[in-house]
Amino acid sequence: MTHRQTADSRQERTPAPTDRHTLTVPETARLLGISDDATYDAVQRGDIPSIRIGQKISIPSAKLGA
């Protein structure tokens, strides 16, 4: 594989969760090392800051230090 092919394949990959401004609840759970249910509970209590758009929950990665 040439350097050019390697660079092209990197551009096509899905960004890592920490490359984005927001994370999903399951991504946040994996990052924190807790279950999805525990993460949803923490969001519900306000322990983890979140943004709701309809039923979608997004967690700002900057608030997690990610």
CA–CA dist 53, 32 (Å, integer): 23
Which residues neighbour 55 within 8 Å (Cβ) at sequence distance 6 or greater?
Answer: none
- Does residue 4 lie in a domain region? no
| Assigned token pair, 48 | 């983890």
Using an 8 Å Cβ cutoff, are 41 and 1 in contact? Answer: no
**% of the chain beyond a pLDDT of 70:** 70
- Does residue 10 lie in a domain region? no
- Does residue 8 lie in a domain region? no
CA–CA dist 32, 42 (Å, integer): 12
Q: 27-58, pLDDT tens digit by residue?
A: 999 999 999 999 999 999 999 999 999 999 99
- Does residue 45 lie in a domain region? yes
Question: Domain span at residue 52?
Answer: 18-64
Q: Is 33 left (phi over 0), alpha (psi -120 to 50) or beta?
A: left
Confidence of residue 63 (pLDDT cuts 50, 70, 90): confident
Confidence of residue 19 (pLDDT cuts 50, 70, 90): confident
- Does residue 7 lie in a domain region? no
- Does residue 6 lie in a domain region? no
Q: What is the mean pLDDT of the chain?
A: 83
- Does residue 32 lie in a domain region? yes
The count of domains in the chain is 1
Report if pTM > 0.85: no
Domain containing 28 — which CATH number?
A: 1.10.10.10
